Amino acid sequence: MAAVLFSVNGIVAKWIMEAGLSPWRLTEIRATGAGVIVALYLAATGRIRELAIRKSDIPTLLIFGTFGIAAVQSLYFFSILHLHVSIAIIIQFTAPIWIVLYLRIFRKQAIAPLMWLGLGSAFVGLLFLAQIWQGLTLNGPGLIASFGDAFSLVIYFLLGRKLSARYSGEAMAVWGFGITALIFAIAKPWWSYPTSIFSQQVNLNGKFAGHHAPGWLLIAFVIFFGTVIPYTSVLIGVKHLSPQVTAIIGMLEPVLAGVWGWIFLYEKLDTLQLIGAIIVLAGIYISSFLATSNEENAHG
């Protein structure tokens, strides 16, 4: 459910931004709406006390919200506006690679040989995807935003794991989205929000060119079906499945994003880019699943 909805969300978000709403404004309303909905859910289920936090955790929560949520969401929207949705998501999915390098370089942790094989494969795939021998065929700002998104996702995972020892996933979501909403409310006040987008008839480019949908409906989709439901689905998946299985199922997202982008937006990869995308996904699979499974088996 999460993989399907996250992949579809990229298509809908791109339609909204192509209609004139900036990535920053879309992040602002997405985070605010999702934070409010999850907070209301906790209140309705009698779990509002889960939002209580320790003072010592405030700096960590601020970094988590600023980089793990605000930067991840806004850079993702910016990247899909300037790149094919599938390419942006594949680069975003390199986050596990940077986590492994962080653990090896800064934490001095031993890394399994299969992990290095996965990392090497993923890097080779990225070279094919970007086609750097042709002077970088991808949009420069979009590519930089995609890698910034991946690095921000590293912060999300590392701090999220640290905070999850004391807080529920829902509470972390409320605080993360809440901090993001506060940051954008200060940087881009709500009284200057381009409210015309809500009544605007947005052109559905690509396969549905010539057809329109109201802006408020597409934004509501991004908030509820593109944020609240998939985030909740991930939490349920992690609870009932192993992290490795959940991660592998999550790898369906870039694959599905490529399919939807091809069907609905007519986004196509050339042969070398397609090969690169497959190599990247194979590298991520090896480094995030096979190597981890081997380590667990080795330790009993």
Selected residue with higher pLDDT from 259 and 151 = 151
Cα-based distances in Å from 232 to 79, 180, 226, 270: 24, 18, 11, 35
- Position 288 scores a pLDDT of 63
What percent of the chain shows pLDDT beyond 90? Answer: 41
Does 242 score more than 60 pLDDT? no
Dihedral sign for Cα atoms in the order 183, 188, 190, 196: negative
Q: Which of 101, 104, 131, 85 is CA-nearest to residue 257?
A: 85
Contact 154, 147 (CB under 8 A): no
Contact 142, 82 (CB under 8 A): yes
Contact 96, 288 (CB under 8 A): yes
pLDDT tens digits, one per residue of 17-69: 999 999 999 999 999 999 999 999 999 999 999 999 999 999 999 999 999 88
SS3 164: coil
Contact 254, 122 (CB under 8 A): no
| Ranges of each domain in the chain | 2-294
- Position 48 scores a pLDDT of 93
pTM flag (> 0.85):
no
Dihedral sign for Cα atoms in the order 106, 107, 109, 114: negative
pLDDT band with cut points at 50, 70 and 90 for residue 222: very high
- Position 264 scores a pLDDT of 84
Q: Cα-atom radius of gyration of the chain, to the nearest Å?
A: 19
DSSP letter for 84, please. Answer: -
Nearby residues of 278 by Cβ (< 8 Å), 6 or more positions away: 125
Nearby residues of 184 by Cβ (< 8 Å), 6 or more positions away: 24, 27, 28, 31, 32, 70
- Position 234 scores a pLDDT of 76
Distance, CA of 211 to CA of 100 (rounded, Å): 45
The alpha carbon of residue 171 and the mean position of all alpha carbons in its chain are separated, in whole angstroms, by 19
**DSSP for 200-246, written as a single string:** SEEE--GGGTT-EEEHHHHHHHHHIIIIIHHHHHHHHHHHHS-HHHH
Distance, CA of 113 to CA of 126 (rounded, Å): 20
pLDDT tens digits, one per residue of 109-140: 777 777 778 777 877 777 776 665 555 556 88
Q: Which of 13, 3, 26, 4 is CA-nearest to residue 265?
A: 13
